[in-house]
Structure 1
Amino acid sequence: MDVWSARRTRSRAGLVAVLAAALLVAGVTTATSAQAATGCRVMYAVSAQWSGGFTADVRVTNLGDPIAGWNLGWTFASGQRVTQAWNATVSAAGNRVTATNAAWNGSVATGATVSFGFNGSWTGGNPVPESFDLNGVACTGSVGGSPSPSTSASPRPADPQATVAAMQPGWNLGNTLDAIPDETAWGNPLTTQALLRHVKAQGYNSIRIPVTWSNHHGGAPDYTIDAAWLSRVRQIVDWSLAEGLYVMINLHHDSWQWINTYPSDRTVVLNRYTRLWTQISAAFRDHSGKLVFESINEPQFAGTSGDEQNYQVLDELNAAFVDLVRASGGGNATRLLVLPTLYTNADQGRLDALAASFGELDDPNLAATVHFYGYWPFSVNIAGGTRYDATVEQDLIGTFDRVRTTFVDRGIPVIIGEWALLNWDHNRPGIIERGEFLKFLEAVGFHARTRGLTTMLWDAGQFLNRGELRWRDQGVHDMVRASWTTRSGTASSDQVYLPRASAITSRTLTLNLNGLTFQGLRQGSADLVQGADYTLSGNTLTLTAAALARLAGNRAYGVNATIEARFSAGVPWPISIITADRPVQAAATGTTGSFAIRTQFRGDQLATMEARYADGSNAGPANWTPFKEFWTHLQPDYTAGTVLLKPEFFAEVNDGAVTLTFHFWSGTQVAYRITKSGTTVTGAVG
């Protein structure tokens, strides 16, 4: 059964007393009217565009009676043409275009959504079609009501898809109003209107403002929010709205500070929860529809019997949230409300549980949210997860496909409320190699865009320097921004390593064209010469020995030159020409609390480290893998010329000999032997 069209009766006996006391309102009733025979809504999005071409995604929601076959028609205003289609057969007569269902997707139930896509060409312009018709009937976004523009970017009270689409892309004001105990406690400066204006100017359309309320309200039973704190939250919300941003606020670290005890302390927790949302709802009751409420950040619960009970208690809290916000009236009656999965995780069980909640709530203006921090070994650099490889990409695709199938294809929009890699941090450089990170950023943008997901970058200060209003790595921002509208080409690596003294030979890289065409190499403003400086065979790019020798210059250790591979769209791919020799390490003596291996890196960079006992078994923490966690267990210090082995590593190392294998980005591996006896550690090469 389609969870969105199902009508169920929720048992809420355990919530009634607390909600009645918190809201002091009578019950809210809803009435249903006879369903009209026809009605549809169309979401048309240009997911990629390049010189002369584009890709479009079309989603058609049937608002009327079930249909057994469909034809969707529209007119291109600027002479665009469809060149290739999928999930539908597309024909054209002049500028009039008709898409007909495929053999397998002709039946569309009431409330269900069918999607298709196509590649097209354009010359003078590529405006979005102004109107659509389904089986000859105009799609107005309503059933039997006044027509409304089906492709409007402005949200309508009961059109969550339009609201969420307009929020793309989004940015998190992380570690700020969610910091404990106050706004600057976790290292970020006070938020200014200039910061919010800068975020908008950089292309973001929405801002998520995580808010932790725990330290800013009084005691039971009223839990009155501090007036100064509520005023500060309202100020930042209002500044953001004034800049034209959509805004999402929530209960953030409250999730693990006190909400997690709900299973064992329902009355107290529910009262506190509803009192806070009652006050927040009242404070923002008359705010613009561009303000969005999210019930709980990353909900988690203690003392339950397992996931089934976790799903039940989260369902109860989400239901209480929706009921009290709607009952508060004003703009809250139709405000977009965002509900998370358990842990805000995208495993199928978590998604299905939230889908069931949506079916029970039967509210027309809800959205789902999950978070995405990538394949964990890659996200933190453990277990050899140093590269953006097929495993990492399949994890991304699988996650986004599950979310789309469970929610988006059924007409419920999804917000990826936080995304990044867990350990990408300007304060801990080298955990994730920059080129591999760029590939991840490019792929997230593409796969989210083509699945109709809105993304909100988690930025706790590691992306945007808020004090200087500049990106800490402009190339990282450029890749993110490009991914919102198009693909970018990448390559197997962004590094080419050369020896310092021995002869230089040609080097090859594999290009990841991502549907684009390669247009050449450039250093600064000068183009490299095909044939003399490089050759291209299929996707294999070969840099000639002569070009590399010239680029390497005097071959000082480190980066000698940077060139760019340029493509037909997107941002160029940087390639560093690096001189390096085999790193040299020295004997060392220290303790489990302080042990540093003197290392001459000689232009190379550390990628990861293995640790094994003499019998070949894995040594140290996370002993399911020989590869230890970068920075948590080991840390290179290029300025000091050392590799540090952390106390966290030694805490789980047995006394005796351990062989370490250091893997460097050049491909070089260096063996090192340590011996631990109590708190004393000695080390030697080989």
Structure 2
Amino acid sequence: MRHPPRSALLAAVGAVALIGAVTVPVVTASGATPACSVEYSVTSQWGSGFQGSVKITNNMAAVSSWSLAFDFTGGQKLTQGWNAKWSQSGTTITAASESYNGSLGSGASVSAGFIASSSGSNAVPTSFKLNGTVCNTDTAPSPTPDPTDPEDTAPPVLRVSGNKFVDTNGGTRRLLGVNRSGGEFMCVQGRGIFDGPVDDASVKAIADWKANTVRIPLNEECWLGLSNINPAYAGANYINAVKDLVARVKAHGLTPVVELHWTYGQYTGNSAGCSDVHAGCQKPMPDMQYTPAFWTSVANTFKGDRAVVFDLFNEPYPDRATSTTTQAWQCWRDGGTCPGIGYEVAGMQDLVDSVRGTGATNVILAGGIAYSNDLSQWLTYKPTDPAGNLAAAWHVYNFNTCSNESCWNSTLAPVAAQVPLMAGEIGENTCSHGFIDQVMKWFDDRSLSYLGWTWNTWDCSLGPSLISSYDGTPTAFGTGLRDHLRALNG
């Protein structure tokens, strides 16, 4: 799905006040350990300046380099510093690790000092970020599942059996829920990792709709930590944020679907979303340069957790580049040099092989061509999966070509008769739910799976948005999905 215009990211920030040489303990509202803590001290002060220090404690996963950011709001000017690369831009101060102290394990601390000029009150900074993560505030840790609460039941380990998703006991499972957009675009735009909160309360709000699945779109350049991405939002920081969200989703009994949305590769042909080589928009196909490495890394990360589902690529559209449908489907499966696409393509078989090469046996989803709206030859070009855990993904909006029952009966029903079928995105641009009501009925009648796009507070006239607030308040469009899920699973 295409995305609405860029919006401001609002982040809650914690506060710490440390005056003089006195150190005040970092205490959060709930008493929980923060993701990181910063103790700020003024160790000496004179008429025109002062000496200060920061002690940084990392409570997240280990990092190989770190960068601390905070603001001087009292007109202070940095003059020199030590034990970090210190710099100032406007009011923002940045302290970046040196080569000798970049490694910071979980629970480890590092200190650095500086000298600055000051006049007036020498106001103490109130917000600190370590590698983009807000410090001195609750991390909203995943709650321990309560087996007596159906909302807190761990999600099932899934596998494919014929044309159904089943759990370890052989019981049929339908994947019904929402998409949680943000991880595919915020990082590449230099604005963070997720769009809006992904804390426990926001995930619980999804569960309160009686959803059982959350699809999490990702960006391959951010996951792999390529050089064009702000390090605060890339590599280990990005991966850890995704892992944390997956854990929160699971803690509420929801199945996480991790999905590759935006990829590398320059495409300027028919229906190009952008001219940039970087992963800043939807490309017609994944690239061979980075996508197999992305899926190898993702599969290695989650292969020990078969409750996690892998969705190989958001919305392939090689049909817009090639001159024939046959060429499009060949490109889709086999990759390589595809007509009309200027970079080497990774086909669906390449990606299945990358996942299975790690030993991961998680369920894999593969969407068709025409932005995953065309499954007419999916069975003919179906990739080979040695684990036998491959399912079909399909997307539909009211403006797509295959948006009526006649098309669904002729192209979807044959696929659904042989493999599990999930509509990974359903939506409409009417700010209403008349169209998705039809989609849900067709899928309900056949016990198939579907996910609404999207659990983000966007203007529904710019893109299908299910909510107006992350507490789960639905839009007029979202009301249809919420009420339907509650009727099915309430």
| TM-score between both structures, scaled by the size of structure 1 | 0.38
Q: Deviations over 1:60-104 (max 9, x none)?
A: xxxxxxxxxxxxxxxxxxxxxxxxxxxxxxxxxxxxxxxxxxxxx
- Check 1:257–1:162 CA distance in 2 against 1; reply closer, same or farther (3 A cut): same
1:290 is matched with which residue: 307, 312, 316? Answer: 307
1:318 corresponding residue in structure 2: 348
How far, CA to CA, are the matches of 1:485 and 1:189 in structure 2? 24
Q: Return the alpha-carbon distance in structure 2 between the equivalents of residues 486 and 399 of structure 1.
A: 27
Residue in structure 1 matched with residue 89 of structure 2 by the alignment: none
CA contact (8 A) 1:408 1:452 kept: no
Corresponding residue number in structure 2 for 1:405: 413
Provide the C-alpha distance between the structure 2 equivalents of 1:290 and 1:226, rounded to a whole number of angstroms. Answer: 23
- SS state at 1:251 partner: strand
Matched, 1:443 2:438: yes
Distance (whole Å) between structure 2 residues aligned to residue 277 and residue 186 of structure 1: 19
CA distance in structure 1 between the partners assigned to 2:158 and 2:253 by the alignment:
16
Within the alignment, does 1:211 sit opposite 2:208 as a pair? no
Find out whether 1:456 has 2:457 as its counterpart: no
Structure 2 letter corresponding to 1:368: A
Q: 1:438 to 1:251 in 2, by over 3 A?
A: closer
Secondary structure at the counterpart of residue 410 of structure 2: helix
SS in 2 for 1:311: helix
Q: Tell me by how many angstroms 1:464 deviates.
A: 1.7
Change beyond 3 A, Cα 1:438–1:465: closer
Which one has the bigger strand percentage?
Answer: 1
**Offset, 1:376:** 5.3
Highest RCO, 1 vs 2 (Cα 8 Å, sep ≥ 6):
2
Measured in 1, the distance between the counterparts of 2:487 and 2:409 equals: 19
TM-aligned CA distance change 1:177 to 1:228, over 3 Å: same
* Equivalent of 1:357 in 362, 374, 381: 381
Q: Aligned ranges for residues 122-521 of structure 1 at < 5 Å? A: 154-159=156-161, 161-163=164-166, 166-179=173-186, 181=188, 188-218=195-225, 226-254=235-263, 269-287=287-305, 289-301=306-318, 304-316=322-334, 317-329=347-359, 332-333=360-361, 335-347=362-374, 351-358=375-382, 360-361=384-385, 364-375=388-399, 395-410=403-418, 412-422=419-429, 424=431, 437-459=432-454, 460-461=456-457, 462-467=465-470, 469-473=471-475, 476-484=477-485
Deviation at 1:162, TM superposition (A): 2.5
Kindly indicate whether the alpha-carbon contact (under 8 Å) linking 2:394 and 2:425 is maintained by their aligned counterparts in 1: yes
How far does residue 237 in structure 1 lie from its aligned partner after superposition?
Answer: 1.0
Looking at structure 2, the residues matched to 370 and 242 of structure 1 have their Cα atoms a distance apart, in angstroms, of: 27
Asked if the contact 1:373/1:419 (under 8 Å) is kept, the reply is: yes
Question: In 2, Cα distance between the equivalents of 1:193 and 1:360?
Answer: 38
Amino acid at match of 2:353: D
Instruction: State how 1:560-639 maps to structure 2 within 5 Å.
Output: none
Structure 1 or 2, whichever has the larger Rg, is 1
Contact 1:183 1:190 in 2 (8 A): no
Shift of 1:375: 4.1
* Aligned 1:13-52 pairs, distance under 5 A: none
- How many Å separate the matches in 1 of 2:408 and 2:397? 12
Residue 361 to residue 451, structure 1, CA distance change in 2 (3 Å)? same
C-alpha change, 1:246 and 1:184, in structure 2 (3 Å) is: farther
CA distance in 2 between counterparts of 1:442 and 1:423 reads 13
SS of structure 1 residue aligned to 2:423: strand
Structure 1 residues 482, 445: closer, same or farther in 2, change over 3 A?
A: farther
Alpha-carbon offset, residue 231 of structure 1:
1.0
Evaluate the alpha carbon distance shift between residue 247 and residue 178 of structure 1 in structure 2; reply closer, same or farther with a 3 A threshold: farther
The answer on whether the counterparts of 2:263 and 2:291 sit within 8 Å (CA) in structure 1 is no
Measure how far apart 1:185 and its partner are.
6.4
Shift of 1:163: 4.2
Per-residue CA shift, 1:149-170, capped at 9, x if unaligned? Answer: xxxx955544371349634311
- 2:243 is matched by which residue type in structure 1? R
Distance in 1 (alpha carbons) for counterparts of 2:266 and 2:198: 24
| Identity fraction in percent | 18
- Going from structure 1 to structure 2, the CA distance change for 1:211 and 1:423 (only over 3 Å counts) comes to farther
| Residues 592-630 of structure 1: CA deviation (Å, up to 9, x unaligned) | xxxxxxxxxxxxxxxxxxxxxxxxxxxxxxxxxxxxxxx
SS at match of 1:325: helix
Distance 1:398 1:255, change over 3 A: farther
> d(CA) in 2 for partners of 1:203 and 1:285?
27
Measured in 2, the distance between the counterparts of 1:219 and 1:187 equals 18
Residue 294 of structure 1 contacts residue 339 of structure 1 at CA under 8 Å; is this kept in 2? Answer: yes
Write out per-residue CA displacement over residues 396-425 of structure 1, whole angstroms, 9 at most, x where no aligned residue.
312432354221112x0111111110353x
Q: Give the distance between the partners of 2:358 and 2:194, measured in 1 at CA.
A: 36
Which runs of 5 or more residues in structure 2 are unaligned? 1-154, 278-285, 335-346, 458-464
Q: Using a 3 Å threshold, how does the CA distance of structure 1 residues 183 and 419 change in structure 2: closer, same or farther?
A: farther
Contact 2:215/2:258 (CA < 8 Å) preserved in 1? yes
1:491-514 deviation line (CA, Å, top 9, x unaligned): xxxxxxxxxxxxxxxxxxxxxxxx
Query: Structure 1: 5+ residue runs without aligned partners?
Result: 1-152, 262-267, 378-393, 425-436, 488-686
Distance 1:470 1:359 in 2: 38
Map residues 642-653 of structure 1 onto 2, 5 A cutoff. none
Cα separation, 2, equivalents of 1:320 and 1:336: 16
**Contact 1:446-1:483 at 8 Å conserved across structures:** no
Deviation at 1:269, TM superposition (A): 3.1
1:173–1:207 CA contact under 8 A, matched in 2 = yes
Partners of 1:219 and 1:156 in 2: CA distance:
32
Give the secondary-structure state (helix, strand or coil) at the position aligned to 1:293.
strand
TM-score by length of 2: 0.52
Q: State how far apart, in whole Å, the 1-side matches of 2:482 and 2:368 are.
A: 28
Within 2, Cα distance between the matches of 1:228 and 1:485? 35
Question: Within 2, Cα distance between the matches of 1:375 and 1:190?
Answer: 30
| Residue 373 of structure 1: how far off its partner (Å) | 0.4
Tell me if the contact between 1:403 and 1:414 (Cα under 8 Å) persists in the aligned partners: no
Distance (Å, rounded) in 2 between the aligned partners of 1:395 and 1:269:
29
Contact 1:417–1:456 (Cα < 8 Å) also in 2: yes
- Conservation of the 8 A alpha-carbon contact between 2:378 and 2:415: no
Contact 1:167 1:206 in 2 (8 A): no
CA distance, structure 2, for counterparts of residue 422 and residue 402 of structure 1: 25
Query: How many residue pairs get matched?
Result: 292
